[in-house]
Amino acid sequence: MKTVLVLCGGRSAEREVSCVSASAVLRNIPKGWKAELVWIDPRGRWHLQSSPKGLASAKAPAKHPFEKRPAALVPGTPSRLLAGTRALSPDAVFPVLHGPFGEDGTMQGLLDILGWPYVGSGVLGSSVGMDKEVSKRLAVHAGLPVLPYAVLNSPKDLAAARRLRLPVFVKPARLGSSVGVYKVKKAADLATAVRKAFRFDTTVIVEQGIPAREIELAVLGPTEGAKASVAGEIRPNAEFYSYEAKYLDPNGAELLVPAKVTKSQEAHARRLALEAFRSHGLHGLSRVDFLMDKNTGKLWFNEVNTLPGFTAVSMYPKLWGATGVTFPRLVGRLLDLAMTRAKAQARLRITRD
């Protein structure tokens, strides 16, 4: 039986969401795999849990009382995770981590150094997928439709943002789950929203707002040859799909799976989603988000999510469920993709001719 090491928590503002996602993943580990669990605390310290069953069965995973059992990483061949008298060398890692130090390429680099196969994109794909500015540049280069936007490196530098037509959305460049996102409808409110967003990142993106439907697709597979799910739609019961609507308010949004779109619209969305996946160099999984203009039906690329939520209400597993892939099959497929990529990398030469 193979061992998968599930990582949750972390140094991101999204660490509570990570624990909820990890709980769902642990409940859906496929046959042939045994799960181990590490909780990463807000200071970045790893704690190997005695059993993952506690988090898997927790009614409130975000508030789960994790054991503080410090673990140490020992690189080598094979690399090991040491916690007291226990030594662990997993066959694969599922980093159920959202945001910085988990989804942005830093954790992926560490896992590459350790030589442990892992679910999701590599260092480059994770990094560019997390950075909204770089992601938009890649999307434009690939010919994907992108709404006008401005990049701010200082809360005082608002000139470019003021040239956009209101309303606008203000976002930290490298964060997810709608943390630090603000909708601005009045010019007088822009500076305050930007200042608040800069609490979460050193770069802020200001995006042109439109009357839009939020359309999302899930992508699964290798960089070349991946498949896209049916399209889903999120209908927020507020100004936009905020953190509160996603995770705190049970009536925060209506999730339509599949979305009420035409066959041609869905086919177009699938093509764009797969192009976004390829152009960003992604692997394994991604949720690709679009904005559909309510007046014209035009699709605009919004962002890619390289480690989307895996909670019971998350769109990624819901979209694949509607496409015919159950949660355990989905987790198994992701682990298989991790192992296949690791085998391909192991065949690469590390010496000169």
Which of 21, 266, 289, 333 is the catalytic position? 289
Judge whether 214 counts as a catalytic residue: no
Judge whether 293 counts as a catalytic residue: no
Which of 180, 221, 309, 332 is the catalytic position? 309
CB 245 within 8 A of CB 289: no
Which of 21, 121, 178, 305 is the catalytic position? 305
Which of 287, 302, 314, 341 is the catalytic position? 287
On the CB side of 290, CA atoms within 13 Å amount to 30
Alpha carbon distance 3, 340 (integer Å): 16
- Is the previous residue joined to 42 through a cis bond, with omega within 30 degrees of 0? no
Of 7, 14, 46, 9, nearest in space to 201 by CA? 14
One-letter amino acid of 27:
R
Judge whether 289 counts as a catalytic residue: yes
SS3 label, residue 249 = coil
Judge whether 302 counts as a catalytic residue: no
Judge whether 133 counts as a catalytic residue: no
DSSP conformation class of 165: P
Which of 247, 284, 333, 341 is the catalytic position? 247
Cα R_g (the chain), whole angstroms: 20
Tokens of 164: 């956009």
Which of 14, 104, 233, 266 is the catalytic position? 14
Judge whether 153 counts as a catalytic residue: no
Alpha carbon distance 101, 157 (integer Å): 27
Judge whether 36 counts as a catalytic residue: no
Residue 50 CB neighbours (<10 A)? 13
Measured CA distances, 314 to 17, 86, 216, 246 (Å): 11, 34, 11, 8
Place of tokens 């200082």: 154
**Which DSSP string corresponds to 216-232?**
EEEEEE-SSS-EE---E
Which of 177, 178, 229, 314 is the catalytic position? 177
Judge whether 41 counts as a catalytic residue: no
Residues carrying an active site annotation: 14, 177, 247, 287, 289, 303, 305, 309
